[in-house]
Amino acid sequence: MAGVYTVTEINTYIKNMFTRDYALSNICIKGEVSNLKYHSSGHIYFTLKDAGAAINAVMFASRREGLTFIMKEGQSVEARGQIAVYEKAGTYQLYAREIRLSGRGELYERYEKLKRELYEMGMFDEGYKKPIPRYAKRIGIVTSATGAAIRDIMNISYRRNPYVKLFLYPATVQGESAKYSIVKGIEKLDSMGLDLIIVGRGGGSIEDLWAFNEELVARAVFNARTPIISAVGHEVDTTITDYVADLRAPTPSAAAELAVFDYEAFCEELSSLETELKRRLGEKLEKKKAVLREKKLRLSLKSPERILKEKKDRLSKIEEELRDIVEDRIKRAADRLSEAKLRMHTHAERAAERSRNRLRLAADRLELLSPLKRLGGGYGYVENRDKKAVLSVEELSPGDRIKTYFKDGTVLSLVERTEKM
């Protein structure tokens, strides 16, 4: 059969036709995202559709820089790229190089871009967030003077604590000039030295709330010295201001609940704290009293007066014991002395008697040996001129003078001669 082609030849031919078509090489298609799949390889597969048709699309991982937000099912996007044939399947699809949100999505894209930039700058970091004072007494409010937000804040504030002072800066919260008005309000209230500032408004569309997504407002909130609560829209609404503020409240009413402390609850808490404080003080006082009593007891035990008295008592006791000991020793010494005197007297008498007896015996012997007694028997005692006894004739020589003692006198003689027997 003439003119028969293979499937590959036909698909290649069609691919070349698509490639040579300038309009298809750089085309932008608007549609709703469906069949979205983020592949593990980094490629993104999806379908763009409208009421009457659909086209497959892919964004390769190498092209991901052309996507500035996270794609979701149902989003209306504008995808720019090239339409080409996928030969193996014989289908054509859009090879996207750039994808952006369309219509309202453009605002969302701007929102995501600024959010990412501020996040990377660290403006959402918890380390920069100031603590919200628990007992704020002077609160500033940046919002519309005629909106529901200020009425809700005032009503809740009065109900919770009528003594808290509110300072309103009537700002424009919608429109092109709103960002400047909000920034001015923040700066004005921040200069007043208040305890806290609430910045916000009631709910609305993303366009209505857009002033709170402006970088100018975000920086004013970040740079404020006063803690700031962001209360923009309803609970489901989230703005850049919410991320930068020190605390995010889901609604203005919730912001008032967070900012204004409940006076009655505060009084009850004070009463409870007072009771607890008194109890603890009482316990502490009792402990201190017990410690004081113990210290006074210790002090009394160690006081100089007590110690002196104890020493005096001990000294008196020692003196009494010493006196008893001395008296006892004196008594025993006296007894021993009396016994000694008696023994000594007895011994003395016995010794005297013995001495007298020895004396009598000695006297008797002496008398027997006495020269006088011998002289009385006719004997004489001779001594030379030197008054020494002459015991032998050999001691004398003719011419010597001698003295002879007799019983009744003496005789001086001159030796004429000596004769030896």
pLDDT digits (tens, 9 = 90+) for 275-308: 999 999 999 999 988 888 888 877 777 767 777 7
By residue range, what is the domain housing residue 50? 7-102
- Whether 393 is covered by a domain: the verdict is yes
CATH number at residue 243: 3.40.50.2300
Looking at per-residue pLDDT, the higher value among 91 and 181 belongs to: 181
Distance CA 327, CA 322 (A): 8
Clarify whether residues 159 and 213 are in a common domain.
yes
Using CA atoms of 316, 318, 321, 326 in order, give the dihedral in degrees to the nearest 10. Answer: -110
Place of tokens 């003080």: 281
Q: Please compute the mean of the pLDDT values over residues 46-64 and round it to a whole number.
A: 91
Say if CB 260 and CB 196 are below 8 A apart.
no
Clarify whether residues 159 and 250 are in a common domain.
yes
CATH number at residue 71: 2.40.50.140
List, for residues 123-135, the tens digit of each pLDDT value. Answer: 999 999 999 999 9
Three-class DSSP category at 260? coil
Clarify whether residues 63 and 164 are in a common domain.
no
Clarify whether residues 214 and 249 are in a common domain.
yes
Clarify whether residues 307 and 378 are in a common domain.
no
Clarify whether residues 347 and 409 are in a common domain.
no
Identify the bridge partners of residue 304 per DSSP, sorted by sequence position: none
Percentage of the chain lying above the pLDDT 90 cut = 44
Provide the domain count of the chain: 4
- Whether 97 is covered by a domain: the verdict is yes
Clarify whether residues 362 and 389 are in a common domain.
no
Contacts of 19 (CB under 8 A, 6+ apart): 25, 84
